[in-house]
Structure 1
């Protein structure tokens, strides 16, 4: 009977198709397998079996080897072509070995069972077949699941990559903004320091204002020595503020050379480096510079102040600052009772090398000063001297510009725009003073190209 349903337990392990041209054989197999967890289907010919399989998914087929019209080997060959995942068993007698071999070769026969069959052996063989079929189905299911998950993972990775790229770009933008802000902050520190230095200058007579020249000298020396960014920054800041402690002096004391100070005046003079340090230590970014301010009056032989440091115990920047300060202050008459000419000031630095000054540093410092222009500490930079009538918009200041009273008007590196030049001309009319501007050559600013 075509597609006869013999048994369908509540939980089926799969579908079993029994094919035999003898109904009594089909009934015997049905009785044997009625308690097995299979959905049983039957067919009495190969053609009927193919029709059943075209309408219903079949996991295992058990077919007789000898049937009229289409024998078992041919049926299995066609099943293999159309449903390659289906497992096939063949019932065969000893006289049907040639058909069995052909079924094995052409139809991917899972097992063959000899007639008459052993019930237990047949049940065990079918259990194995369904286990194999279940395993193969599970493998295919997992393979499909893996493929789907791989696709989802690829899409997730693609989305993740896009988010990473977007986040990286965002972080780069933030980093650039922070770098720009940090650069602006550093420039603000230097500008604020120069303004502070200009206020110090207003406290002393113009002929005794030395910060600008000292700063130019230490900057040139830092470039010559190839000092690092942090060391150069601290040295420049200390050069701008080294005499901050003198703000506590009275006008009389400010005008006296240090070699003519005695008693209480001498004691007050020797405390100005400490006073300067104490005023600067509250500012975090000036702590290193404050240390250089404290020790710039120490001497190589240990006779300096305030801590009587000796030799290499004196911070490097303080040793450099000492040379620059003494070189400028000797020429201004701030150390000896007279103004010392430039060449004589250099000779004094050489003479006291090894006692007051670091001998190796002083040698290199003196050699640098011989190479610099006498009135400029710009480390040999190509510059132009212009006034407000000859300056060209776009030029860059090579040196700080101060008012006649010593107030910082424009800091080094400032681009001179048309509006700034107009303001300078108005200030000249109000002050009755003509400004001389030191600017970088046009070739460095892009002018004249």
Structure 2
């Protein structure tokens, strides 16, 4: 739903919330919550909201902490504090921690509140309009670069196009937050190849030995591509991913670069005639030196298993491991879904399940996907 006219009020006094809704429902789409936790849940389920107005003093979670969390979830939402305490120190804290647009005191005259809300909505529209303009400019720049790549180096362009769907799927499985950045990095990861001979790219794809000079020339393409992108505003993150796409895995390597490294080598094996499962297994077997991020490889293997319809097996909770994929929904004794079918078990999720197994009443056995046994 469009957030342009949506507003969320959070206050621990239901009668105040009812007044807001009664007075404003004709002008705006108004949602209310009686506390910070309920407000955050509403933002996740019905957000984003253009404007979020919160009381300052609330039990469990105060208004400043709540708006600080709102800022982290949806930084574009314009945040307003409405409090019965005209506390100057609290106002400063609210502005510093929650980037609050306005600080109002109760009782707030209706005309004052309406004026502030109109200003807040205007601020939201300015923020989103600027972002949309920037997004359009970036998309235009990306399209030009992709078109140039397709004309100058069809081999490199084809490789970028082939890996896009794999990179996007891996990004979702790994819970990457900036999927747009990852997609652009996949589209432009071969940009530095525009000046390379097609026969050199062909040798790379066929995994043929390169001379020392050829290897040096080819290894320069990530840096060249990143340098070309560094002149475009807001593309620094994409440039960093592209610059490090051939690096071996370290904890400091950007996740996008780790995904590109796996996706590009996976594509090369497929182009050499391996099927999807064989290519994924080969990368895993080659990872003795840990040049690939094991989490990315696990995500790739699990993705291949699902596409091939892996075998569902029942195991006990103590045998569940991080990286396994659920073959059925994981439910508790009451039938409440704890984890969805197809979800990859994360390290944190596994720790939570084991630590809280009695409290969560995890049903046993747990059904997970295993690769089907292949005929020799």
TM-score, normalisation: structure 1: 0.40
Larger Rg: 1
